[in-house]
Chain A
Amino acid sequence: MEPELAGFAALGARRLFLLGGIALILTGMFFGDIFAVFTLHQNAAQIGANLAAAAQAALAGNRQAMLASFQNVGAFLENRGTKVDTHVHMIDFGYLALMLAILQPWVAFAESAKRKLAWVFLTGAWLLPVGVYLIHYVGLAHSPMKSIGWASIAADFGGLLVLIVTFVCLLGLWKHFRGSFAGPPDRLLADRSAEGRMLFAGGIALVLLGFFHGVYYAATDLYRHEAQDYSLLAQMSAGAAAGAGAVVDRALAGYSQLQGAKAVNIAAHAHSIEFGLLAIMLAFFQPYVRLRASWKRWWVGVLLLGSLLLPVCVLLEMKFGFVAGGLADFAGLLIILALLAMWIGILRCTGELDASVRPTSGSGASR
C-alpha cells in the first residue's frame, strides 16, 4: 500500500463521507442545471406575468383580481424557493461531508462508530433535500398537523440527523484535542503534489475573485439597486393610481431587468466563492484520486476552468443573454465532469485497497 493512502480503509468513515459528499455535490449541481434550464426561467416569467397582472388590476381598480395575482406570485415563489433550497442544501451538505472527511482522523472515536455516524449523516443529508423538493407537491395531504406536511416533517428529521452527527463529530474533535486519543499522523494533509497545489492556489484565487466582486458590487451597485427597487415599485403603484398604463408597463420592464441584474451579481459572487472552497477541499484528497498523473492534472485544470468560467458567464448574462447563459451551463458541465472523474478515481483507489487492506490495531484513528 502506498504510504500516502494510509488512513483510507475499505468502506471506512472517511471514504463514506468523501464519496457521499462528492455524490451530493454532483447531484445538487446536476439538479441545479436541470432546474435552471427547465424551471427557473419559466417560473420567473410566471412571477413577472402575475406581478404585471396585479399592476394592471390595480390600474383598473379591481381589488379581487389584484389579490388573486399576488396569491399566484406567492405560489410560484414557493415552487421556486423549494427547488432552490433542494439544490443549495444538497451542495452544502456535500461540502460539510467533505469537511468531515478531512477531519475524520482527528475525530477520536472507534472506526465502527464513525462509520455508523457517516451513514446516519448521509441518510439525513439526502432526506432533507428530497423532503424539501416534495413540499410543493405533497402539501398538507394526510398530515397530522395543521400547517406542516409530511414532506416538511421528513426534511426536518433529515436536518436533525445531520445536526446530531455534526455535533457528535465535534465532541470527537474535542476528545482528540484533550489528548485522550492519539491516532497516527494524517499524511494526507502533508501531500504537496502538483495537482493539490494547483487546486489549493486556484481555490484561494477563486475565493478572492468572489470577494473582490462582492466588494465591487456592494460599493457600486447594491445601494443603487435598492433605491431602484423602491422607485420602480413606487412608479408602478403611482402609475396604476393615476391610470397611466404606459408608466406601469415601463416600470414593470425596469423591475424585471433589475431583478435579473441583482440575481446574476449575487449568483456570480456566491458561485465563485463556493467553487473556490470546493477546490481547496479537493486539494486535500488528490492522493486518493487513482488516475494517471497527466489525467489528474487535466481534470484539475477542467475543474478550475469551469469554476472560473461559470461565474464570469453568469455575470455576462445580462449583457450577452443566451450566449453567456449557454457558456455558463457548459462551464457547469465541465465542473460536473471533473468531479465525476475524481469520484471515479477515488472509487478505483478504494477498490485496490479493498483487496490489500491489512488489519491493524486501531485506536481512534481512521484505520
Chain B
Amino acid sequence: MSRSRRLLIVGGIALAVWGMSYGLWYAVFAEHQALDNIGASLAGSFLAAADRNPAGMDASLEQYREAKYVYDRQVDVHGHWIGLAMLLIVLGIGFDRVNFSERFKLFLALGLLLGAVIFPLGVLLQTMNHGPLPRGIAIVGSGFVIAALLASAVGVMAPDTSRADAG
C-alpha cells in the first residue's frame, strides 16, 4: 500500500476514534448540563418577562446566548471530526484513482489530514476565545481540506498514465 493511502486510512481511523471519544466524553460529562442550561436560561428569560423584570430577563438571555454559542460549536466539532475522518478513509481507499505522482499525492494526503484536524480544532477554540485567531485557524483548516480535495478531483480527471497497485 502506498504511503499516501496509508496516511489517509490510518490518519482517518485515528481521527474517527478521536472524534468519537471526544463525542462520548461530551455526551456523558457536558451535553446534558449544556442543554439544561440552555433550556433553563430561555425559560428564565420568559419567566422574568412575565414578572416584568427586565434585568433578570437580560441576564437570562445573555446566559442563553453564551450557552447556545458553546453548545452549537461543541456539536459541530464532534460531527466535523468524524465526518472528515470518514472522508479521509474513503478517499484513502480510492486514492490510487488520483493520477498524480506518489510524492504529490503524499503532499495532498498530508494537506487533507492536517486540514481535517485543525479545522474543527479552530471551531473548538472559539468556545474558549471569541477573538479572530480561532476563526483564522478554522478558515486555514477548511482551506487545506478544500484545496487538497480540489486537487484530488483534478487528479481523478487527469489521464491515467500508470496504473497503481490496488491491493
Contact = CB atoms under 8 A, between A and B. Distances in A.
Interface of A: 54-55, 57-63, 66-67, 70, 74, 95, 99, 102-103, 170, 185-187, 189-190, 192, 197, 200-201, 204-205, 207-208, 211-212, 214-215, 218, 226, 229-230, 233-234, 236-238, 240-241, 273, 277, 280-281, 283-284
B61 A233 contact: yes
Instruction: Give chain B's interface secondary structure class.
Output: helix
A230 B93 contact: no
A117 B68 CA distance: 40
Contact of A208 (B39, B51, B89, B149): B149
B46 A70 contact: yes
B52 A61 contact: yes
Contacts, number: 125
A241 B48 contact: yes
B96 A63 contact: no
B142 A74 contact: no
A74 B35 CA distance: 11
B110 interface: no
A277 B87 CA distance: 7
14 contacts: A59-B49, A63-B51, A66-B50, A70-B46, A95-B86, A99-B86, A192-B163, A204-B153, A230-B64, A233-B45, A238-B57, A241-B53, A277-B86, A280-B91
A215 B140 CA distance: 11
Interface range for B: 35 or more
B136 interface: no
Per CB-CB distance, the 9 closest pairs between chain A and chain B, nearest first, are A185-B167, A190-B166, A189-B166, A240-B49, A237-B49, A241-B49, A58-B49, A58-B50, A204-B153
Interface of B: 13, 39, 42-43, 45-54, 57-58, 61, 64-65, 68-69, 72, 83, 86-87, 89-91, 93-94, 96-97, 138, 142, 145-146, 149-150, 152-153, 156-157, 160, 163, 165-167
Contacts of A205: 153
Contacts of B42: 70, 233
Contacts of A284: 93-94
A235 B91 CA distance: 47
Contacts of B96: 189
Contacts of B138: 218
A189 B58 CA distance: 59
B137 to A, nearest CB: 13
A63 B46 CA distance: 9
A58 B153 CA distance: 55
A281 B45 contact: no
Given A63-B50, A66-B47, A241-B48, A204 B57 contact: no
Contacts of B86: 95, 99, 277
Contacts of A273: 83, 87
B90 A277 contact: yes
Nearest to A190: B166
A233 B91 contact: no
Contacts of B64: 230, 233
Contacts of A229: 68
Given A61-B52, A197-B156, 13 more contacts: A62-B50, A70-B46, A170-B13, A186-B167, A204-B152, A204-B153, A204-B156, A229-B68, A233-B42, A238-B57, A273-B87, A280-B90, A284-B93
A24 to B, nearest CB: 15
A208 B166 contact: no
Nearest to A65: B50
B146 A215 contact: yes
B142 A237 contact: no
